[in-house]
Amino acid sequence: MATLCLRRRRPTKKPVGPPRWRCLMTELLPLASLTLLVFTLLVFLRAALHKALDFLEFQGFVADYELLPEALVKPAAVALLALEGALVLMLLFSASRAAGLVLAALLLGGYAIAMGINIRRGHTRIECGCGGTPQLLSKTLLLRNALLMVFALLPLLGLPEALQSAEIVVAIAAAVFMWLAFLLFEQVNANLLAIREMANSLKRI
């Protein structure tokens, strides 16, 4: 009888090492973390400068929230300005960046709570005092702060230790682009709120 010879298939070797997507994430995480870190720094640098350059106006915004006795309004405004200034400095140095990012998230959360209380009261015809484009309180600002909190906390997943010069340039450029988009969002939001207020005024006539 003739015997049938069956060829044995050579076992395919499994790729050694982590999956390709995991390697990609490992490479991109420090870059994304630096981008969000620089973006958070720019947001708070602008806010702190705006408060410092017109402190009396900022003090008035704190008073408008009606959350503190009049005697505590100025000390609270000074404390908030000092915290934002310290936060910016903390983000500049690697040893204090993690603490600075946590402080940024806490401040954003505190601001969101203050805005939420006044929105619930119906006190929406006051400016948020965020710095930059004047904006009346709205739920959109609450969503904005929630997103900024996420952006501030995400870099904690992988703070960059050593990046090449080209990677640093790319991260900073991406952060500046995000910041400009953020400024555009604020301006568009302010314009939409102004149009809505004008429409409501015309309805009352």
102 contact partners, CB below 8 Å, separation of at least 6: 153, 156
How far is the CA of 89 from the CAs of 8, 23, 99, 174, 185, in angstroms? 66, 32, 11, 21, 26
pLDDT at residue 1 is higher than 50: no
For residues 42 and 54, what is the distance between their CA atoms, to the nearest angstrom?
A: 18
pTM of the complete model beyond 0.85: no
The dihedral through the CA atoms of 45, 120, 71, 61 has a sign that is: positive
pLDDT digits (tens, 9 = 90+) for 116-140: 999 999 988 888 888 777 788 989 9
Domain boundary assignment for the chain: 31-204
Give the amino acid at 132. Answer: G
CA–CA gap between residue 183 and residue 191 (Å, rounded): 12
Determine the Cα–Cα distance for residues 108 and 145; give it in Å rounded to an integer. Answer: 6
Residue 60's pLDDT band (boundaries 50, 70, 90)?
A: very high
The per-residue pLDDT of the chain, averaged, comes to 86
Task: Let me know: does 136 contact 191? Beta carbons within 8 Å.
Answer: no
pLDDT at 11: 53
Give 166-199 pLDDT, tens digit per residue: 888 999 999 999 999 999 998 888 888 778 777 7
